[in-house]
Structure 1
Amino acid sequence: MKSSSSACPLQKEEGLNRTIRVWGLSANIVNIVVGAGIFVLSAILATYSIFILSNRITKAD
């Protein structure tokens, strides 16, 4: 009679394969770069717009 628990820890388990291949790693790097670029661009634009608005307010007086 076999027990439900595996006695040999080196047996191959069936299920999800938890590996990252070249294309998955490349897609992840592209995702990180594009995502960071979007946040950096919005931060630069926000800083620039605050600078422009503060100049307009001080020149209006």
Structure 2
Amino acid sequence: MHCPNCHGTNLGKIGHQQYYCWNCFIELTIQNGTIHVHEVEEDGTLSSLDDLFSEDERTAQ
């Protein structure tokens, strides 16, 4: 699996089907074969970045 943002493979597992990209500091969640991309805000909340990527870019491989 690779990060849809930086295309790197430096991902750490943080939970069940949840990963963190150490290159661009975003959180990835896989649901039904689709990667959901989130930015972690200063207060710890998540903001969706899904609208920045096409369906093809967010397909888990």
TM-score, normalised to structure 1, is 0.16
More helix by share: 1
TM-score, normalised to structure 2, is: 0.16
* Structure with the higher fraction of residues in strand conformation: 2
Between the two structures, name the one with larger relative contact order (CA 8 Å, sep ≥ 6).
2
